[in-house]
Structure 1
Amino acid sequence: MDTNLSYIAERLTELTAIPSPTGYTKHATDYLVETLTGLGYTPEVSNKGNVLVELDGQGKPLVLASHVDTLGAMVRSVKDNGRLRPTTLGGHQWRTADGENCTVHTRDGRTYTGVVLNTEPSTHVADEKVEQVEKNMEVLLDENVSTKDEALALGVQAGDIIAMDPRTTITESGYIKSRFLDDKLSASVLLGLARAVAAGEVALARKVSLLFTVYEEVGHGGSVVPADTQDMISVDMGCVGADLGCTERMVSICAKDSGGPYNYDIVSELAACAKANGLDYAIDVYPHYGSDVEATLTAGFDIRHGLIGPGVYASHNYERSHMDGVRNTFELLRAYVAQ
């Protein structure tokens, strides 16, 4: 594995280990600031928590955006039996979390491990299968509690954050398996690009800034960008699934998602760049998807917009990608910002 890919893999492992469900992202943004500062940059943190850093270059300002907020949950209430009733953060799918280990983060800084289960998970007890929907899910703390008062005495209360365990692993064959590859994988790719620019491996042909957002999963992460922005590309997960050309080993270029078509010229430029550099790519349409850059457009910014990312299978689940998809995405970005 070359230096850039090794660096990206290391950043991914570190980033996914930092809990950051939407609304609880400070530890992740602190990590970004520390990492970017260590590379010689001067990142800025906005009031809402987004991290912006200018890499270098002059003219035709381009923003590359990824997000570090993830799916997760929040304590809705403490039940009479001491278990926690959750409410979702973002487009979380409870059927994918049934049986998942988790951590509860209280407002006074305490953490408790636990497990997410439906209200009757035992095959040897249940008369009927319980549907895995939010109203039937609960968090069992790994503490000796059996009443509401005992749970409250731990400092647990409504509004506390529930973060699922990421279970990140990279196999010898290059497969990446983890929760929250959406979008910590592409955030790591952008950190890899920042490292390559700082090391003098990439000569920027235009002004390039990176934007790491913290409210993408709820729709307004990219609502504010620098006023001089002309082009913006969301670097998020590429979709893999039925009727799509992308695989986990490719870079996906999105032509249209649920918010409509992406800028025709940007899509064409990205595809031409990928082809010219011999990269494995696909142009696809994502039927159920929205990105940061669409929030930017909705906010009224006059920009050209695009969306790319490494192919990720089983989105909003325990996701899977491949280092080849990372390489193709990184190389496309490196070539695009230099042309």
Structure 2
Amino acid sequence: MKDYSTLQALVAIDSPSGFTERASQYIHHLLTEYGWSPDYTNKGAVRCTLGSQAPTLAIAAHVDTLGAVISDIAKNGTLRISKVGGLSLNGFEGGYCRIHTLEGKVYTGTLLLDNPAAHVNKDLNSAQRSLYNMHIRLDEEVESKKDIEALGINVGDFICFETNYQELPSGYIKSRFMDNKAGCFVLFELARQIKAKGWDVPVQIFFSNYEEVGHGGTCGYAPSVKELLVIDMGVVGDGTAGEETACSICAKDSSGPYDYGMRKQLVQLAQKYAIPYRLDVYPFYGSDGSAALRAGNDYRVGLIGPGVSASHGVERTHQKGIQATIDLCMAYIESKFKAL
């Protein structure tokens, strides 16, 4: 059975967009342990070339997740939030969280609806959840804004949600932020396996850190890159073909179609090697590939990834879907560069 300890370790590191330094440091350290020489972009993304040649193929995943920051400290000692990325208030309601201050202090709390007691709020179940009627209840004896400020908590402090990571005997892995730390694990395995095989390939792996807010994949790749293969979650839900036990190959998302030639080659490789896959269209989705193209990069771009259920909520994927994505990436690399 594959060792998923590096995935679990990465998931345990709080890393909403804008607060990814520790997660990026973990990635940098892990790749160094594997025998590679990663570096950082100016924005704090991690990149690593897996050979001696100038890379022509970049394979990217994003380490940043959803989260929030404090937008206001209420007079009653609760915290109002501003979302980081497309965080679902319904999906995160009741979620335990950590508040990180600028001074490095960490406090805990819970995201709740205002007046959350069922015994006094007859509209508890029918009220629409919004930023205007939800708050963070801090696990400290506080009753006022002054009490909060005395703890060193301020507007702008990051709020990071508990992941509840579990690996199950059935092969499922359920945890928040499988979007897209499962994709990062795929890159870990590419780095590990390519080193073990002794391949010298013109491939760069790239861990972006601002995908959830739209500009993670815009820049920072090697200037020699011609193709970008993005690893991100495959959508599982009504009207889509994705399954948690397969690798999704995206033909089109809400930003437009991905490169036809890359998609065709990926499908042919999946069929040739009996890799479980689903060809799909995502109705409400954008990726680092979308960002790279909008930024004006002259790349061919493809998008694949393990199927993830309940995206931006209580997410779940399966080891089979992760493995299928690893296998398809390795097949794609070998098909392009095996003669080198």
TM above 0.5, one fold? yes
* Whole-angstrom CA distance in 1 between matches of 2:206 and 2:64: 13
* Whole-angstrom CA distance in 1 between matches of 2:19 and 2:119: 38
Deviation beyond 4 Å, 4+ runs, structure 1:
57-60
1:11: Cα distance to partner? 1.3
The structure 2 residue matched to 1:12, chosen from 7, 10, 13, is 7
Deviation digits for residues 237-264 of structure 1, max 9, x if unmatched?
0111112222100000000001100000
1:58: Cα distance to partner? 4.3
* Whole-angstrom CA distance in 2 between matches of 1:133 and 1:289: 22
* Whole-angstrom CA distance in 2 between matches of 1:146 and 1:298: 47
Q: Is 2:164 the partner of 1:185? A: no
* Whole-angstrom CA distance in 2 between matches of 1:72 and 1:238: 21
2:120 is matched with 125
Q: Is 2:286 the partner of 1:287? A: no
SS in 2 for 1:329: helix
* Whole-angstrom CA distance in 2 between matches of 1:42 and 1:327: 25
The structure 2 residue matched to 1:242, chosen from 238, 241, 248, is 238
Runs (5+) with no aligned partner, structure 2: 336-340
Per the normalisation by structure 1, the TM-score is: 0.96
Deviation digits for residues 271-325 of structure 1, max 9, x if unmatched?
1111111011011000000010111111111111000000001000010110010
Say whether the 8 Å CA contact 1:60–1:231 is kept in structure 2.
no
SS in 1 for 2:207: strand
Q: Is 2:89 the partner of 1:90? A: no
CA RMSD of aligned residues (A): 1.2
1:24 is matched with 19
1:135 is matched with 132
Q: Is 2:59 the partner of 1:64? A: yes
The structure 2 residue matched to 1:147, chosen from 144, 168, 183, is 144
Could you tell which deviates more after superposition, 154-163 or 131-140? Answer: 131-140
Say whether the 8 Å CA contact 2:53–2:202 is kept in structure 1.
yes
Q: Is 2:70 the partner of 1:79? A: no
* Count of residues paired in the alignment: 332
* Whole-angstrom CA distance in 1 between matches of 2:55 and 2:186: 22
Q: Is 2:29 the partner of 1:34? A: yes
Q: Is 2:231 the partner of 1:209? A: no
1:59: Cα distance to partner? 6.8
Q: What is the letter of the counterpart of residue 36 of structure 1?
A: L
1:81: Cα distance to partner? 0.7
Q: Is 2:69 the partner of 1:54? A: no
Say whether the 8 Å CA contact 1:64–1:210 is kept in structure 2.
yes
Deviation digits for residues 74-112 of structure 1, max 9, x if unmatched?
000110011100110000111111111000000111000
Say whether the 8 Å CA contact 2:55–2:222 is kept in structure 1.
no
Deviation digits for residues 52-89 of structure 1, max 9, x if unmatched?
10012647710000000000000001100111001100
Runs (5+) with no aligned partner, structure 1: none
Say whether the 8 Å CA contact 1:23–1:215 is kept in structure 2.
yes
1:308 is matched with 304
Could you tell which deviates more after superposition, 74-83 or 292-301? Answer: 292-301
Q: How does 1:107-126 map to 2 (within 5 A)?
A: 107-126=102-121
SS in 1 for 2:132: helix
* Whole-angstrom CA distance in 2 between matches of 1:13 and 1:162: 20
Say whether the 8 Å CA contact 2:78–2:135 is kept in structure 1.
yes
